[in-house]
Chains A and B, each alone.
Chain A
Amino acid sequence: MRTISHTLPWVIAVVLVLVAPHVFGSGFSISLLCRMAIAAVFALSFNMLMGQGGMMDFGHAVYLGLGGFLAMHVMRAADAGWWIPTPALPIVGAFGGVVAAGLGGLVVSRSTRTAFAMITMGLAEAIVALVLMLPRLFGGEEGINADRSGGPPIFGFDFGSPLEAYYVIAFWALAAAGLMFLFTRTPLGRLSNAVRDNAERVGFLGYNPGRVRYFVYMFSGLFAGLAGGLQAINDEIITSANIGSNAAGAVLLMTFIGGVGTFAGPVVGAVVVTLMQMALGTVTEAWQLYNGLIFIVMVLWAPGGISGIILAHAPLVRSGQARRLVPSYLTVLPGFVAALLGTIGLSENAYRLQSIRGGSPPGGSIFGIPSDPQTMTPWLVSLALTAVGLWLVARTAPRARAAWLEIAGGTQA
């Protein structure tokens, strides 16, 4: 039983990965899937530090970037005739990442908490600036590029087409995830948990917490570099933007939204945040506002992330108790939906109004419902929906929470 419950998620993951590009077959979807896979590896490597090691790394993108640059240089060499097959590039990236993290770790791993976060931030800022000053190595602003189909073909595949590249990326993403999972089971993985929870006691046990942090940092850099290698294959270009603070901020969002407390959390976060960043913008102008709102709502009411919510309910579903929760959860739903619709209405109208001031034709619609932001009605309706919705949620949520506490408490007891 135990092995089944352990292997089942992995089997599902493999099947999903194999099937996904055939269900979502458009070029855009495959591009999104690749980004999700890369982001998932990156977020998992980040969570090795943040979730499992208690280290908040503001400069983690440096290792993805440096790994990516090294892989890209090797890809160029392959284009020039060296025998290096494209699927091997992530190993190069991992090598770049681990070497860079080995050096960076010497500087940062002595620090903890805020000092650690800040020193990684300073290091990252300095490295980004340096990268831009060394155009021969890093290609300046435009970065460096290569052709992934320029390497030697393997079984007749040159990996030029997006689908072939996807399978390379997906294979490595799964492999990396598996290895990172195994890492949590190693003594070093366990020790890093212990250092996070109480470094002093680990010290008393005879281990050097600084050294534990250093090795975890190196392994984390290795997988970030591997993600960089995947990025090199996917984009066929690496630029300084891949190193910068934006990339570092994005991985923090992913990991948190997915949930730091579980192994699979960052993967969920990578999928959700990639969708929010890449796809939401094609649907609505207000996407950055929604990003911020979703984020705040998550921090306030679901600090365990998406996987935290799932984790809180999984035992209840398994024991069949979840059904008892449905009625009390349903009472929250109308208020939630009303508040959601109201907020969307307010935001969309605000952005629409701004576009109209910028010369777009007047009028507009939300979900096909005509809504002219230059009149009062849409504003009043949205405002009313939001207010009523929030009021309803405030009324009903405590009871739903109480119901959960009662039932969950019951199962645990």
Chain B
Amino acid sequence: MRLRTIVAAAFAALMACNSTARADEVIRVGLIDPMSGAFSVAGRLGEQHFRFAIEKANAGPLAGTGKRLDLTIYDNEVSPEKSLTMLRKAIDDGVHYIVQGNGSNVAFALSDAVAKHNKREPNRAVLYLNYAAVDPSLTNDKCNWWHFRFDADSDMKMHALTDYLVTQKDLHKVYVFNMDYSFGAAVERGAVSMVKDRRPDLQVVGVERIPMGKIKDFTPYIAKFQAAGADTIITGNWGPDLSLLVKAAADTGYKGRFLTYYLGSRDVVSEIGIAGKGAAIVGVFYDNIDQPLVRQWTTEFEKRYDNTFGSWTAITSMMMLAESIKKAGSSEPLPVSKAMSGLTWDSPLGPITMRGENHQMLQPMFVAALDTGMAHVFPDVPLGFRGIGRIEGKDTAMATTCQFPNAP
């Protein structure tokens, strides 16, 4: 009994010291991503982005509301199995908002587990805010009410990419090259069907999937591109599977254009080096977007963490969460989810909307190519992205098959 009094007194003293936090209600956000092992770089980068985004959300929409977001980290080693145990831990810790982005396999496991948990224990419900897993199924046939996606899904990205392809009349033969897993297959499906639909004169000369992370030497594949006469490569590859591919192309003098999803990552760009010039990316952000607030944030982030700012969806997810909490006047997941569904927020890049039918964010999308002489460049390489195409958020909406099985 005495011990408890002492602890309570100490706690009270601690709270009193931290005067800004005194009256605040703490809303816990749990980031479940790889924090150790070979893939930890992705999780750590996510952590930095979310710390930054939460700071902005607390100083922005939540300022003066008496509520603030607080981040807790859970290491899942990109294993679906460990993610489920970490979800349990997060729920024990009183986390109501789960954030995850690395690995569609983890995303499916979490989305499914969150739906089941919320059905079984509705009074301890959690929301799952997905900031980077882009398999279209998550907001289509496997959608559920408690999952919200802030990145554009791979079909939307492909749609934006074909918007750009329509304007590029000098490209004639395209090779679709992906990693052999659900995401790679989704990119492949989207690429083949959309290219056929929207630029029928563009010939798909090859479709190929390679096993993830198993190929060291990409030269035989480059030889296939050459043999097929491809002048454009569409690829959803990431990490070494992307950098080794582009490097092998440069080494063997292959001149085709790479249209990618994940070239924006610093490790990939610095691995490829100057050979990456001209390669393009499609996504919801690129580093040289000409907007004062974004530029200010980018600079601030890079100064603080000595890392490239890239996960724009960390900002949008935390801002939208804060706006939803404000709108709902509550920090409980159910009212917040209702507030978030269909919510529009005026982001620095233009209005963005969390689509009510499938909880997929509609936001401006960009095509950008690596170029020299840019204001912002990657460390070690004098390249930065130059915007070459923009699609407004409302134009990115695609038909969805989502019927929420568990809408409240």
Q: Interface 1/0s, chain B 1-39, versus A by CB < 8 A?
A: 000000000000000000000000000000000011100
Least Cβ distance of B394 to chain A in Å? Answer: 30
**Proximity string of chain B (83-119) to chain A, C-beta cutoff 8 Å, 1 when within and 0 when not:** 0110011011000000000001101110011001000
Q: Are B80 and A287 interface neighbours, CB within 8 A?
A: no
A141 to B182 alpha-carbon distance, docked (Å): 6
Contact across chains for B182 and A236 when beta carbons are under 8 A apart: no
- Is A388 in contact with chain B by the CB < 8 A criterion? no
| CB neighbours of B307 from chain A (8 A) | 358-359
Q: Which of B35, B79, B85, B135 is the one whose CB lies under 8 Å from A31? A: B85
Are B81 and A241 in touch, CB under 8 angstroms?
A: yes
Complex CA distance for A282 and B48, rounded to whole angstroms: 18
Stretch from A143-151, A221-229, A303-311 contacting the other chain: A143-151
Name B103's closest neighbour in chain A (CB-CB). Answer: A141
CB-defined contacts of A26 to chain B, threshold 8 Å: 92
Q: Are B92 and A32 in contact (CB under 8 A)?
A: no
Most interface-central of B36, B37, B81, B88 (chain A CB within 10 A): B81
Q: Which residues of B contact A288 (CB under 8 A)?
A: 36-37
A140 in contact with B306 (CB, 8 Å):
no
Q: Which residues of A contact B80 (CB under 8 A)?
A: 143, 235, 237, 239, 241
Cβ-based interface call for A132 (8 A): yes
B41: min CB distance to chain A, Å: 10
Given A129-B211, A142-B109, A235-B81, CB of A28 within 8 Å of CB of B44: no
Cβ–Cβ contact B88 & A28, under 8 A: yes
Per the 8 Å Cβ criterion, residues 351-392 of B in contact with A are none
B91 contacts A132, C-beta separation under 8 Å: no
- A-side contacts of B37, CB under 8 Å: 288
With an 8 A cutoff between CB atoms, is A198 at the interface? no
Roughly how many angstroms separate A235 CA and B211 CA in the complex, as a whole number? 26
Interface majority SS on A: helix, strand, loop or mixed? helix
Check A145–B182 contact: CB distance below 8 A: no
B271 contacts A by Cβ under 8 Å: no
How far does the alpha carbon of A32 sit from the alpha carbon of B85 in the complex, in Å?
A: 7
A28-B36 contact in complex given A161-B120, A358-B44, C-beta closer than 8 Å: no
A146 and chain B: residue at smallest CB distance: B112
- Cα distance, A129 to B116, chains bound together (Å): 30
Of the candidates B35, B112, B305, the one whose C-beta lies within 8 Å of that of A145 is: B112
Interface residues of B in 27-66 (CB under 8 A from A): 35-37, 44, 48
Query: Which of A135, A141, A359 has the largest number of chain B CB atoms within 10 A?
Result: A141
Q: Does A27 lie within 8 Å of B88, measured CB to CB?
A: yes
Within 8 Å CB of A277, what residues of B?
A: 82
Q: CA A30 – CA B48 in complex, angstroms?
A: 31
Give which listed residue, B79, B92, B120, contacts A241 with CB less than 8 A.
Answer: B79
Mask for A11-39, Cβ within 8 A of B = 1, else 0?
Answer: 00000000000000011101110010000
Contact of A133 among B112, B120, B180 (CB under 8 A): B180
Question: Is B181 in contact with A132, judged by CB distance below 8 angstroms?
Answer: yes
A365 at the interface (CB under 8 A from B): no
Bound CA span A160–B119, Å: 10
Within 8 A of A (CB), among B128-151: 135, 137
Inter-subunit contact B81/A145 (CB<8 Å): no
CB-based contact A31/B108 at 8 Å: no
Are A239 and B105 in touch, CB under 8 angstroms? Answer: yes
Residues of B within 8 A of A239 (CB): 80-81, 105, 109
Residue with the highest number of chain B CB atoms closer than 10 Å, among A27, A135, A235, A277: A27
Question: A398 contacts the other chain (Cβ, under 8 Å)?
Answer: no
Is B304 engaged at the interface, CB distance under 8 Å to the other chain?
yes
Q: Give bound CA distance, A277 to B37, whole Å.
A: 12
Residue of B nearest to A357 (CB): B306
Q: Given contacts A282-B89, A358-B48, are A132 and B180 in contact (CB under 8 A)?
A: yes
B343: CB under 8 A from chain A?
A: no
Q: Does B75 count as interface, using CB distance less than 8 angstroms?
A: yes
Contact of A278 with B by CB under 8 A: yes
Select one of A132, A133, A235 contacting B84, CB under 8 A.
Answer: A235
> Which residue of A28, A141, A147, A358 contacts B104 across the interface (Cβ within 8 Å)?
A141
Interface membership of A285, Cβ < 8 A: yes
Contact A236 B89 (CB under 8 A): no
Cβ contacts under 8 Å, A249 to chain B: none
- Contact present for A160 and B120 (CB under 8 Å): yes
A282 and B120 within 8 A (CB): no
Q: Are B109 and A143 in contact (CB under 8 A)?
A: yes
- Cβ–Cβ < 8 Å partners of A162 in chain B: 88
**How close is A95's CB to chain B, nearest CB, in angstroms?**
23
Q: How far is the CA of A281 from the CA of B306 in the complex (A)?
A: 25
Could you list 18 A-B pairs, sorted by A, with CB under 8 Å?
A: A26-B92, A27-B88, A129-B211, A135-B182, A141-B181, A142-B105, A143-B80, A143-B105, A145-B108, A145-B109, A145-B112, A149-B116, A235-B81, A236-B113, A237-B80, A237-B112, A287-B36, A359-B304
Task: Given contacts A32-B85, A132-B211, A236-B113, list 12 more A-B pairs with CB under 8 A.
Answer: A27-B89, A27-B91, A31-B89, A35-B85, A142-B104, A142-B109, A235-B81, A237-B84, A239-B81, A281-B35, A287-B36, A359-B307
8 closest A-B pairs (Cβ-Cβ)?
Answer: A359-B305, A142-B108, A31-B88, A28-B89, A141-B181, A27-B88, A141-B105, A141-B182
Give the interface of A toward B (CB within 8 A): 26-28, 30-32, 35, 129, 132-133, 135, 140-143, 145, 147, 149, 160-162, 235-237, 239, 241-242, 246, 277-278, 281-282, 285, 287-288, 357-359
